[in-house]
Amino acid sequence: MEHFGICAACGQGAKRLRACASERHFLILCDECDAAWFTLEDEAPTYLKQPDLPCPACGASLVQPPSRWATLDEIRQLGWGDDLVSKSE
Amino acid sequence: MGRMRQAGHRSGRARRPVWLTLAIIALAAGTLVYRSGFDGAIERADGERGPQARNSSTQEAEQELHGAESETNEGWGELTEIAPGVFESTAGLVYKPGSREGHRIDHVLRHAEDAPERPIHGVFDGGREEIFAVLDEAWSIARQRGPPVKIERNGQRTTYTIDMGRRVGYVGGGAGLRNGYPAASHIRLVLEDRDVITAFPLNP
């Protein structure tokens, strides 16, 4: 599982990169409590509207298909590969 | 000689006169009697009032505020469908469609078993019924705002960390594996209003 560390908001979930249903935007999302961050530098999370978690950029859902967790290749292409705490090759 | 007299004078000023000590004792005793009588008069005049009754009234007000039905553990964890796909527990927690699992019930039930691939993953003791019952118990404790509850608010989201005072599960995931799966005695309940976002056992 690729992630950037433990969510500080809930202390349990992993901070992972999520592609919205339009597959054009990526957001860091806690896989436990849905806290969201635009960048890894952001400390305070954003809480998107439940239950669909609309992408702040285009409104497409971060929950409904084809939204998905980003692949390791996508994370690397976005330049965040070195920030991963854990990755499965 | 002068120094000795001066020292003796200081000593004499520091010692409280007997009449003053008696006066302070009498005044304090009078105050206690007065306060005791005051409280007693309230209870005699109105049997519904008094410290215990005030606590009860506060709890009733909170129950109304949060829509709770019961402070007892009878039937805790029973889920009633109050709208299509929306379930309310006995203690008033609401489980709605949402999350990548499709429903918050399923999201919470991920914590019915270990997930070794996750960095940390609290696992509840017991099955489905026990899990929703212990969550109702935790919510009941959380509403009392007592010392075993830590509350953090961020907008409409509230995170409760409740010390259950006993084992309710264990710490699993990668952290659990490394540490011998330690017992968990707390429950973290993440809510928006009364809507459950997630809940899991942990050791804070």
pLDDT digits (tens, 9 = 90+) for B105-156: 999 999 999 999 999 999 999 999 999 999 999 999 999 877 799 999 999 9
Give the residue, B76 or B16, on which the prediction is more confident: B76
- Supply the range of the domain harboring residue B10: 2-49
Does residue B56 belong to any structural domain of this protein?
A: no
pLDDT digits (tens, 9 = 90+) for B27-45: 444 433 323 322 322 222 2
- Residues A41-59 have a mean pLDDT of 95
The answer to whether residue A27 scores a pLDDT higher than 90 is: yes
First-last CA distance in chain B: 68
Output the pLDDT for position B146: 73
Residues B22 and B122 both lie in one domain = no
Q: Judge: A33–B100 Cβ closer than 8 Å, yes or no.
A: no
The answer to whether residue A88 scores a pLDDT higher than 80 is: no
Structure tokens belonging to residue B78:
């029973």
Does residue B31 belong to any structural domain of this protein?
A: yes
Q: How confident is the model at residue B47 (pLDDT cuts 50, 70, 90)?
A: very low
DSSP conformation letters of A52-87? T-B-TTT--BSSSTT-EEPPHHHHHHTT-GGG-SB-
Output the pLDDT for position B37: 29
Residues B111 and B29 both lie in one domain = no
Instruction: Provide the CB-side half-sphere exposure for A12 (13 A, CA).
Output: 29
For CA atoms B97, B103, B105, B111, the dihedral sign is: negative
Q: Calculate the average pLDDT of chain B.
A: 75
Residues B90 and B134 both lie in one domain = yes
Residues B13 and B91 both lie in one domain = no
Q: Is the peptide bond before A66 cis (omega within 30 degrees of 0)?
A: yes
Residues B28 and B110 both lie in one domain = no
CB B184 within 8 A of CB B159: no
Structural domain count of chain B: 2
| B191 φ, ψ (degrees, to nearest 5) | -125, 155
Q: Is A8 on the interface with B (CB under 8 A)?
A: no
Output the pLDDT for position A4: 96
Rounded CA-CA distance B118/B176 in Å is 10
Could you tell me which chain B residue has the CA closest to the CA of A88?
B117
Could you tell me which chain A residue has the CA closest to the CA of B157?
A47
- Closest approach of A79 to chain B, Cα-based (Å): 23
pLDDT digits (tens, 9 = 90+) for A58-86: 999 999 999 999 999 999 999 999 999 97
Q: Judge: A33–B197 Cβ closer than 8 Å, yes or no.
A: yes
Domains in chain A: boundaries: 15-81
Output the pLDDT for position B17: 53
Q: Judge: B119–A50 Cβ closer than 8 Å, yes or no.
A: no
Does residue B63 belong to any structural domain of this protein?
A: no
Does residue B60 belong to any structural domain of this protein?
A: no
The answer to whether residue B2 scores a pLDDT higher than 70 is: no
Which residues, including other chains, have CB under 8 Å from residue B61's CB and lie 6 or more apart? Answer: none
> Which residues of B sit within 8 Å Cβ distance of A?
96-100, 117-122, 154-157, 159, 188, 190, 192, 195, 197-198, 200, 202, 204
- Closest approach of B131 to chain A, Cα-based (Å): 17
The answer to whether residue B96 scores a pLDDT higher than 50 is: yes
Does residue B54 belong to any structural domain of this protein?
A: no
